[in-house]
Amino acid sequence: MRYQFFLIGLTAVFVLFLQTTTVYAHKLLIEPVSPGKIKVVYEDGSFSTRTMVQVFDTERNEIESGHLDSEGYFYYDEERANLIVADDGIGHRTEWTVGEEVIVKSDPHRWLTVGMVVVVFVVVAAYFSYRTKKKRNM
Positive/negative CA dihedral, 96, 50, 70, 57? negative
pLDDT score at 113: 75
Count of CB atoms situated within 10 Å of the CB of 28 = 19
| H-helix or E-strand spanning residue 14 | helix 2-18
pLDDT score at 55: 96
Can you tell me the distance from the alpha carbon of 69 to that of 89, in angstroms, rounded to the nearest whole number? 16
pLDDT averaged per 10 residues in sequence order, the chain, 138 residues: 72 69 66 92 86 94 93 92 91 87 64 80 86 80
Query: Which CATH number, 1.10.3470, 2.40.50, 3.40.50, 2.60.40, labels domain 25-102?
Result: 2.60.40
Residue 75, sorted as left (phi over 0), alpha (psi -120 to 50) or beta, turns out to be beta
Residue 89, sorted as left (phi over 0), alpha (psi -120 to 50) or beta, turns out to be left
What are the residue ranges spanned by the domains of the chain?
Answer: 1-22+107-138, 25-102
Residue 95 and residue 87 in contact, taking contact as beta carbons nearer than 8 Å: no
pLDDT score at 106: 56
pLDDT score at 38: 93
Closest C-alpha among 81, 82, 30, 37 to residue 51:
30
pLDDT score at 119: 86
